[in-house]
Amino acid sequence: MNTIQDKYFIALTDHLQKLLEFKSIEVAELAAAANLDRRQIYRLLNKENVPKLSTLIRISLAAGIEPKELFDFKFDFGTYMKDNKLLKIGKTK
């Protein structure tokens, strides 16, 4: 993982942890509901690996969280783009 991915991933994971705590959801019950190995969820929550989008969707739905809510958190994408030398494609008139 590179640094910027880490920053976004850490923010996403922190947000997911807050949502799970708010809903009082334990890792074991989440793993069972999402049909995932609990170690996989622990690695996600401990920021040890970056899951596939499909895994995040499964976790989200199993926790009763709309996927759009999972990804709805503040993150500085402007800095992200500058740090990664990303350009925004836009139509010119």
Structural domain boundaries, residue 40: 3-69
User: What is the domain count for the chain?
Assistant: 1
Give residue-wise pLDDT tens across range 24-38: 999 999 999 999 999
Q: Please report, for the domain that includes residue 61, its CATH number.
A: 1.10.260.40
| Domain assignment of residue 79, yes or no | no
Residue 79, token pair as written in the block: 């800095």
**Predicted local distance difference test score (pLDDT) of residue 88:** 85
| Domain assignment of residue 14, yes or no | yes
Taking the complete model, does pTM exceed 0.75, yes or no?
yes
| Domain assignment of residue 86, yes or no | no
Residue 27, amino acid: V
Cβ neighbors of 64 (< 8 A, separation 6 or more) are 23
**Predicted local distance difference test score (pLDDT) of residue 93:** 63
Give residue-wise pLDDT tens across range 35-62: 999 999 999 999 888 889 999 999 999 9
Give residue-wise pLDDT tens across range 69-86: 999 999 988 887 888 788
| Domain assignment of residue 80, yes or no | no
Choose among 80, 58, 91: nearest CA to 7. 80
